[in-house]
């Protein structure tokens, strides 16, 4: 991307709408950001649907949430298993029906925010928190856990794409971001953008 492709908009008055075109001046870059946003959004939406209904990918129908499955409890109760990971006990302790609800709400909310291009700031913060929590639970830096990289894995990439989409107003291209930004409540509370 050229140095002219990304610019910082001048300070705006409260309620004034800044659009992606003034932040990312390259049409190709805007499309690339939109593609990344949609791709990662679909990852979250798919994970939600698979865990909810058991679509035979990572979740079998009999282990789906609607059939009494526990979408986060299995993951959390096995964190650090066989590695002596010192935080394993913490994750085992928080595994509960509440963690299932929070996890599923997180997947759905982040996925919908990214797919629709609305609420990207809240979605990005949520994605960073969820992905950081999952990264810590998986402990990719612990030998024998099975990660191919001890620092940067898919959790970091997904969080980074969500942050990039939020910071570049990525919902304006191939999303509902412009419509969302013009709602009075969003104009007056830019953290909702």
**Mean pLDDT computed over 106-113:** 98
Percent of the chain with pLDDT over 90: 74
Q: What is the DSSP letter of 150?
A: S
Residue 116 pLDDT class (50, 70, 90 cuts): very high
Using CB atoms within 10 Å of the CB of residue 182, give its burial: 0 to 12 exposed, 13 to 18 middle, 19+ buried.
exposed
Can you give the residue ranges of every domain in the chain?
26-192
| Interatomic CA distance for residues 35 and 57, integer angstroms | 23
Q: Give the dihedral sign, CA 114/118/121/127.
A: negative
Q: What is the CB-side half-sphere exposure of residue 172 using CA atoms within 13 A?
A: 21
Convert the pLDDT of each residue in 22-77 to its tens digit. Answer: 999 999 999 999 999 999 999 999 999 999 999 999 999 999 999 999 999 988 98
pLDDT of residue 9 exceeding 80, the answer is no
Mean pLDDT, the chain, integer: 90
What is the C-alpha separation between 51 and 63, in angstroms, rounded? 8
pLDDT for the residue numbered 53: 98
For residue 145, pLDDT beyond 70: no
Percent of all residues in the chain with a pLDDT value above 70, rounded to a whole number: 87
Nearest to 82 by CA among 33, 28, 32, 146: 146
The answer to whether residue 170 scores a pLDDT higher than 60 is: yes
């Amino acid at each position: 991307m050229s140095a002219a492709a990304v610019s910082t908009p001048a300070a705006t008055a409260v309620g004034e709408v800044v659009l992606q075109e003034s932040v990312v001046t390259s049409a190709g870059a805007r499309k690339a950001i939109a593609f990344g946003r949609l791709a990662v959004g679909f990852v979250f939406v798919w994970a939600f649907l698979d865990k909810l209904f058991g679509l035979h990918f990572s979740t079998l129908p009999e282990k789906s949430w609607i059939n009494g499955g526990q979408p986060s409890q299995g993951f959390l109760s096995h964190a650090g298993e066989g590695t002596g990971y010192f935080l394993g006990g913490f994750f085992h302790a928080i595994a509960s029906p509440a963690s299932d609800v929070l996890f599923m709400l997180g997947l759905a909310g982040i996925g919908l925010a990214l797919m629709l291009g609305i609420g990207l700031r809240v979605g990005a913060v949520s994605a960073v928190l969820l992905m950081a929590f999952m990264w810590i639970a998986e402990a990719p830096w612990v030998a024998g856990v099975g990660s191919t990289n001890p620092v940067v894995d898919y959790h970091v990439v997904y969080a980074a794409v969500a942050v990039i989409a939020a910071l570049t107003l990525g919902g304006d291209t191939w999303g509902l971001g412009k419509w969302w930004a013009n709602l009075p409540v969003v104009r007056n509370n830019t953290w909702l953008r």
